Amino acid sequence: MIQVENLHKKFSKNQVLTGLDLNIQEGGIFAILGPNGSGKTTLIKIILGMVIADKGTVSVFGKHIKNKWKYRQEIEYLPQIANFPGNLRVKELIRMIKDLRQQPCEEKRLIELFGLQPFMDKKLATLSGGTKQKVNIVLAFMFNSPLIILDEPTTGLDPAALISLKELIQKEKQEGKTILITSHIMQFVEEVADEIVYLLEGKIYFKGGISELMEKTAQTNFEHAIAAIATKKSNA
């Protein structure tokens, strides 16, 4: 579904990705992990075409994405920081995105699921961080696309919303969708992810199942296994 070859990206002097190769097949939940600043968001934004790679190729659904935009019709994206135009109402924002995408849409169920009905007529600038994130999630899940990319979806969510989110992700997975997630909450990753992609120093350091990772690092706890990768590398 996604093929990334020899990807390089530099932000002024900061080399973020150094020859990253990645192949993500169809179906399942993939967690992209890595320490802060390891290039998780950059990788996601390159796949989305928001950041332009210096070198390397990215194909989504078997086609090169360079200078293309139509392929984004098949992708739903949840950005890391929910930045919305503050003077719009929640209702207007949802209507606008629907109008822009012109795809079948099931926002009503999601709005109910996250209890957003009382906020529909409020301006986005007046919402709390968690509520904004809920709106963000509704926007990301309301279309029926085969590829879903979630950048830190758990930020600011209360436990009830977090449970709803997990159910939502599982439901999408059962429909055969491919889901990419980045998160720093290891408990969440352990619960939902089928496969781990660990980014370190601009490359894929590890790709495989959670049990494989525990074997490799000789740890019994997932969180410690992830932490072990980073420390082992820096000690070496």
If one asks whether residue 11 binds another protein (CB under 8 A), the answer comes out as: yes
- Total residues at the site for another protein (CB under 8 A)? 26
| Alpha helices per DSSP H over the chain | 40-48, 90-101, 107-113, 129-141, 159-174, 186-192, 210-217, 222-235
How open is the CA angle 101-98-58, to the nearest 5 degrees? 35
Stretch that binds another protein, among 91-99, 166-174, 184-192, 215-223 (CB under 8 A): 91-99
Residues forming beta bridges with residue 32, ordered by sequence position: 182, 197
Backbone angles phi, psi at 46, to 5 degrees: -70, -40
Q: What is the x/- site pattern for another protein, positions 162-191, by CB under 8 A? A: ------------------------------
Closest CB 8 distance from another protein, rounded Å: 13
Complex with another protein: residue 58 or 186, whichever CB lies closer: 58
Stretch touching another protein by CB under 8 A, among 77-85, 115-123, 159-167, 204-212: 77-85
| Separation CA 216–CA 219 (nearest Å) | 8
C-alpha distances in Å from residue 207, one per residue of 24, 125, 132, 214: 10, 40, 32, 12
Is 55 a binding residue for another protein by CB under 8 A? The answer is no
In the shown chain, the binding pattern of residues 93 to 132 toward another protein, with x for contact by CB under 8 A and - for none, equals ---xx-xxx-------------------------------
Question: Nearest approach, Cβ of 91 to another protein (angstroms)?
Answer: 15
Q: Return the residue of 19, 25, 52, 191 that touches another protein, per CB under 8 A.
A: 52
20 DSSP β-pair partners = 7
Q: Which is nearer to another protein, 81 or 160 (CB)?
A: 81
Using the rule CB under 8 A, is 160 a contact of another protein? no
Nearer to another protein, 63 or 216 (CB): 63
Alpha-carbon separation of residue 26 from 110, 146, 180 (angstroms)? 25, 9, 11
Quick one: angle between helices 222-235 and 210-217, nearest 10? 50
Judged by beta carbon, residue 51 or residue 228, the one nearer another protein is 51
156 CB-near residues (< 8 Å, 6+ apart): 129, 130, 132, 133
Write out the residues near another protein by the rule CB under 8 A. 11, 45, 48-52, 67, 69-73, 75, 77, 79, 83-87, 96-97, 99-101
